[in-house]
Amino acid sequence: MAHHVCVARWRIAVAFGVVAVVVNVALIASLVSLLPSDKAALQLRSPVPVGDEFAWINRVSHWPGDWTVAVCKTPVYRLKTPNVDLPHATQSGACTAKIEPAGEYLNITIARFRSELEMQVDLHNQGYELYSFAFDQGGLLVYAIFPSATNIELSVVLQPLEKFGFNVYHDPGP
């Protein structure tokens, strides 16, 4: 009887060994398929990860905190997300502009978007007149201003962003 138990245990051990070898061979085969082809001496790849297609648009310097301090008085208010006015924004906020052309108090909307199309659609639908945007944290960060009731030149409000490399744009829309 003991002999039959030893043979059964030996068969189980051999079966586990065979399964382990088969699993290792399959794993190695799948890893080998991931190696680059030997046909090319050099593979050209973009240093910008897929999905970061906006990383080269409006290249700017410094950080969002610096940008916001350049154009906003404190405090900056975080708005509820999702925002009814900017439904495609992943985050949004507002502040009072530091620069007051002709003494007019203006609000700046600050928002993050996943894509330029979503940004353009939301800004256009809400009637924003001026905006500046840059790539940040895998999406777009925008500073936008509504038209003035007195028809004064508003671009001066966003001009401090130009020292970081921003452009000031008029009339958003897809």
Tell me the per-residue pLDDT of 99-111, one tens digit each, with 9 for 90 and over. Answer: 998 888 899 999 9
Q: Which long-range contacts (CB under 8 A, 24 or more apart) does 93-97 make?
A: 95/68, 95/71, 96/72, 97/71, 97/72, 97/73, 97/145, 97/157
Tell me the per-residue pLDDT of 44-100, one tens digit each, with 9 for 90 and over. Answer: 333 444 345 555 555 676 888 899 999 999 999 999 888 889 999 999 999 999 999
Q: Helix or strand or coil: residue 160?
A: helix
Question: Which helix H or strand E contains 8, and what residues bound it?
Answer: helix 2-32
pTM: 0.66
Give the number of other CB atoms < 10 A from CB of residue 66: 13
